[in-house]
Amino acid sequence: MAETDTSFLLFILTTQKAFSCPGGTIHLFFEGYFMYNHSRMGSRMDLFGQLWKEYALSDSRYMHSDPFVLCMETWTAITWGPLSFLTAVLITKDSPYRHAIQALVSTGQFYGDLLYYMTSLFDDYFSGRRFYRPEPYYFWFYFVFMNAFWIIIPLLCLWSSIKASARAFSISSKLAVNGSVKKTL
């Protein structure tokens, strides 16, 4: 298993290290919790409810069922969560489908986070509605840093899948021309 494979598996499954958050688990359960409880989040007193309310200090859209945030979190919970676990299974089985699914999930996570940032900043710039708090801790740690993982790690995984796919297509093309694997390697 390559180093990027291990990194992706750690990102999906590990709960032992502080910043190796379990991606699939976060998507499926934590964001699924938001999807299910968004309309009553203010009254939730359990751990996940309190965590969402704390996070909402950096982005108030989470406290009033903002349509974009609700759609994004719902899609993330029902699509990227299960597909993250499928990717982990495909990695462990060294499946030929692994890179296609990993590229799909990584692109989706990157695009979702990009839209998350852009819709908030767009509202601030064009209509003066600021959903994030200006205090450095809430803005830079919660809003920027905590979401940057969903930009950086998916881009690394996407790059890994692009390189693997390019290698596979290169070998396939050489096989079509030469008719033998030995001549291509």
Q: How far is it, in rounded angstroms, from Cα 6 to Cα 17? A: 14
Closest CA to 158 of 87, 69, 76: 87
Q: Would you place residue 26 in the very low, low, confident or very high pLDDT band (cuts 50, 70, 90)? A: confident
Give the number of other CB atoms < 10 A from CB of residue 10: 17
Please state at what angle helix 81-92 crosses helix 98-122, rounded to 10 degrees.
150
Q: For residue 176, which phi and psi values (nearest 5 degrees)?
A: -65, -35
pLDDT, tens digit, 9 for 90 and up, residues 28-57: 888 999 999 999 989 999 999 999 999 999
Question: Hey, what amino acid is at 156?
Answer: L
Q: How far is it, in rounded angstroms, from Cα 143 to Cα 147? A: 6
Residue 130 pLDDT more than 70?
yes
- pLDDT for residue 15: 34
Residue 10 pLDDT more than 70?
no
Q: Would you place residue 19 in the very low, low, confident or very high pLDDT band (cuts 50, 70, 90)? A: very low
Q: Is 169 exposed, middle or buried (0-12, 13-18, 19+ CB in 10 A)?
A: exposed
- pLDDT for residue 63: 93
Give the number of other CB atoms < 10 A from CB of residue 175: 13
Side-chain half-sphere CA neighbours of 109 within 13 A? 31
Q: How far is it, in rounded angstroms, from Cα 36 to Cα 32? A: 6
Enter the DSSP assignment of 77.
I
Q: How confident is the prediction for the chain on average, in pLDDT?
A: 85
